[in-house]
Amino acid sequence: MLFDAGAHGDGELTAAEKARRERKREQAGGVVAYVARADNSEVVFALGGELHVVRGGQTTPIATNGNAFDPRFEPGGARIMYASGSSLRVTNGTTDRLVLGTDEGGETVSWGTAEFVAAEEMGRTRGYWWSPGGGRVVACRVDTAPVEQWWISSPERPEVAPRPIRYPAAGTSNAEVQLWIVDVEGGPQRQLDWVRDEFEYLADVSWLEVDGTEVIRCTVQTRDQKTLVILDIDPDSGEATELQRVTDTQWVELQAGTPHQSDLGVVTIVDDGRRRLAIDGNTIDHGDYQVRNLIGVEAGAVLATVTTDGTDSVVARLAPGGEVDMVSEPGHFASAVAGGGTMALTTARPDGDTDYEIRWADGTTSIVDSHGGSPGFPCAPEFHFVAARALATALCLPANHDGSPLPVLLDPYGGPHAQRVLRQRNAFSTSQWFAEQGFAVVVVDGRGTPGRGPAFEREIWGDFATKVLDDQIDALTALAASRDELDLSRVGIRGWSFGGYLAALAVMRRPDVVHAAVSGAPVTDWALYDTHYTERYIGHPARHPDNYEKSSLISDAPTLSRPLMLIHGLADDNVVAAHTLKLSQALLEAGRPHEVLPLSGVTHMTPQAQVAENLLHLQRDFLMRALVDPNEGEIRS
C-alpha cells in the first residue's frame, strides 16, 4: 500500500475535477488517475485539489496553489506542471508559480485544459504536453467566447444563481482552440498553425522525438469530420509537414491511442472494410479480426485488442507480416497496458469474476487480488446472433426459471461508440437484477454500435431513428420465435442517454410491439446536442435539416399511446434537462399522459449510490404497473 485514499478522503473536488470525471464517466472515488516517470521512480496524482508524490515507497503532499488536477512530470527534471482553474502552474515541491493564465482566471480563456467537445467526444482530456527534453511545453489556449452560453439551474435551491456553461450545440460555433509553444521560465514563445481555418478540430497532440529530432504531432479534423490529417510541426520554426490524410464520404473515425510512433513506424488503425492496423499508411491483413484498440509496440509486433465476433476482446500480438499471436483467450473481454516487456492484463468473463495479472519481463506472473463486490446473484447471460443481420443479442432470465412466459424488458444503449452485448459479467449486472424482478431481459446491439466494423456503424448516417429501432424489433422478434420465455404481449424498454432516446422512440413509433418505456436523460431534439457528435452522424443542421426532423422525438409526441416515464438530472451539462422538458411540453400540449421524474442535483452519470439504487426500484415498479394489471394480468394500453 503506497497511499490509502479511504483513510485520506477525497476532500472537496474542484469544479474542473468534477467536469473531468463527468467527461470520462469516472464514477469511482479516491485515486482515479496517476502519472509515473518513465523509470517508475516517482508517481504523482491529484486528490481533492492537492498533489501527492510517491517516491521510495513514501507518499508526500506537494505544495500547490490549490485546485490542482492533471499533474505531469517534467522529463529529466524535478518540476511538476499541473492545471489549476483556467491556468497552468509549475511546482518543484517547495515553490509554486504561475506559468500561463491568471490566478483570477478569465471569463472565457483557459490554458492547458481540453475544451468540452474534445473531452466529451474526441477522447482528448488533456491540454498541455512537455517537450521530451523538458523546459518547454506545448499548451492549448481555449477561448469559449464564440460558444453559446447556457444556464444550469438548481430549482431545488432558489437562492442559488444558475450556473453558466458554454455549450456548442449542433450547427453553432465551437470554442476557439490555439496551440502555443511555451518556455516554462520565459512564457509564450510561438503560436502554432495547423491550418485551423480548414481543420477546426484538434483531436490529438503529442511532443516526441523521431530520429533524434523533436516534433509536435497533431491529429486534426475538418468540421464535417470527413477529412483527418496527421501532421508534424517543427517546434522551433513552426513549419508543418503532413504525414497522412484520410478521407471518407461519411466520417473518419478517431481511434484512441493512435497515431503511435514506434520502431516499426507510425502505427494507426484504419477503416479498410474492417478495422485494421496500418504502419506508415500501409494496411496489414490480419484476417477476419476487427482491431478494437492499440496498446503499444513491443518486440517487433503491435500489441492490440481485437474481436473475433464483435462481443469479445482479445489481447493479441499482431506482426507486420500478418501473423496473429493471441495473448488472451477468445470469448472473454480482455484489456491490457504494457511497457518494458511487462504487461498488466485484465480478463473479464461472462460467467465469473474478473482476473487481474501481471506478466513480468522475466516470464513470471503475479496475480492481483480483487476486492471488488459481486452482484449478489447469479449472472450468466446467454449470447445469441439473431435475425437477418446476425445481431448480437444477450438474454438474461431469472435464476432457476421454470421456462414459463415472462414480460420482456429491452435494455439497450443502441447508439454509436458504446456496446452493451459484451462477454463480461459486470456489463449485465443491472440487466440481471431486472431479470430477478421477473423480466426476461433482452439486450441488443444494432446498426450504429461498434465491434462489427465500419460499414455496420455507418449504416445509420443521416438518421438516428429508423435502422436503430428496426434492429431492436427484429432481434426481439427473432429471439422470441425460439424462446417461449418471451411474452411479446408484455414488452417494456428502458435506457439512458442514447438508450433513453431509443426507449422513447420505441414506445412512440412502435407501440404495436413496445408497450411501456422508461427514458432516462434522452436526447429528444438533436439540435440541442453537441457539434462534434451530432454533426458526425446526421450532418450540419443548416445543410441537412431533414435529418434532424426525422431523428427528433418532439414531432412524435401526439402519437404516444403507451405509458412513458421520463427521468432527467437537472444538473446534467451533457444532455441538458431541456431535452426532457421540451418533450414533456409537447406531450402535454398534445394531451398525452406521461410521467416525469426530475432528479435534483444529479448530472448525466447519476453517480450518487442512493439515487442510482432508488432509480432502479422506481423503474421496476413503473414497468410492473404499466405492463401487468395485478388482478387481470393484462396489458395497460
pLDDT digits (tens, 9 = 90+) for 253-307: 999 889 999 999 999 999 988 999 999 999 999 999 999 999 999 989 999 999 9
Say if residue 498 is in the same domain as residue 605.
yes
- Split at pLDDT 50, 70, 90, the class of 105 is low
- Torsion of the alpha carbons at 279, 285, 286 and 290, rounded to the nearest 10: 80
Neighbouring C-beta atoms of residue 380, cutoff 10 Å? 14
Asked, for residue 365, whether it belongs to a domain, the answer is no
Looking at the chain, the whole-number percentage of residues with pLDDT higher than 90 is: 84
Look up residue 188 and give its three cell numbers.
509564450
- Indicate if the pLDDT at residue 491 is higher than 50: yes
Say if residue 535 is in the same domain as residue 452.
yes
Determine the pLDDT at residue 392: 98
- Indicate if the pLDDT at residue 632 is higher than 50: no
Say if residue 111 is in the same domain as residue 97.
no
Q: Which residues contact 263 (CB under 8 A, 6 or more apart)?
A: 297, 300
Determine the pLDDT at residue 1: 86
Determine the pLDDT at residue 104: 58
Say if residue 392 is in the same domain as residue 527.
yes
Query: Based on the structure, what is the number of domains in the chain?
Result: 4
Say if residue 356 is in the same domain as residue 481.
no
Using DSSP's 3-state secondary structure scheme, residue 127 falls into coil
Rounded to the nearest integer, the mean pLDDT of the chain is: 93
- Supply the CATH number for residue 85's domain: 2.20.25
Q: How far apart are CA 213 and CA 132, in angstroms?
A: 10
Query: Which residue, of 101, 122, 157, is where some domain finishes?
Result: 101
Asked, for residue 633, whether it belongs to a domain, the answer is no
| 97-111, 162-176, 418-432, 528-542: range with lowest mean pLDDT | 97-111
Q: What is the mean pLDDT of residues 398-403?
A: 95
- CB contact at 8 A, 333 and 313: yes
Q: What is the mean pLDDT of residues 242-259?
A: 95
pTM for the structure as a whole: 0.94
Determine the pLDDT at residue 608: 79
By the 10 Å C-beta count (0-12 exposed, 13-18 middle, 19+ buried), 95 is classed as exposed
Q: Which residues contact 57 (CB under 8 A, 6 or more apart)?
A: 2
Using DSSP's 3-state secondary structure scheme, residue 401 falls into coil
Query: Which residue, of 198, 231, 254, is where some domain finishes?
Result: 254
Look up residue 229 and give its three cell numbers.
490529417
Say if residue 212 is in the same domain as residue 352.
no
Determine the pLDDT at residue 636: 41
Query: Closest by alpha carbon to 490, among 633, 607, 384, 368?
Result: 633
By the 10 Å C-beta count (0-12 exposed, 13-18 middle, 19+ buried), 507 is classed as buried
- Range of 561's domain? 382-627
Say if residue 113 is in the same domain as residue 83.
no
pLDDT digits (tens, 9 = 90+) for 554-603: 999 999 999 999 999 999 999 999 999 999 999 999 999 999 999 999 99
Backbone angles phi, psi at 389, to 5 degrees: -95, 10
Asked, for residue 276, whether it belongs to a domain, the answer is no
- CB contact at 8 A, 305 and 293: yes
Say if residue 214 is in the same domain as residue 303.
no
Determine the pLDDT at residue 272: 86
CA distances, 415 to each of 146, 197, 333, 458 (Å): 29, 31, 20, 11
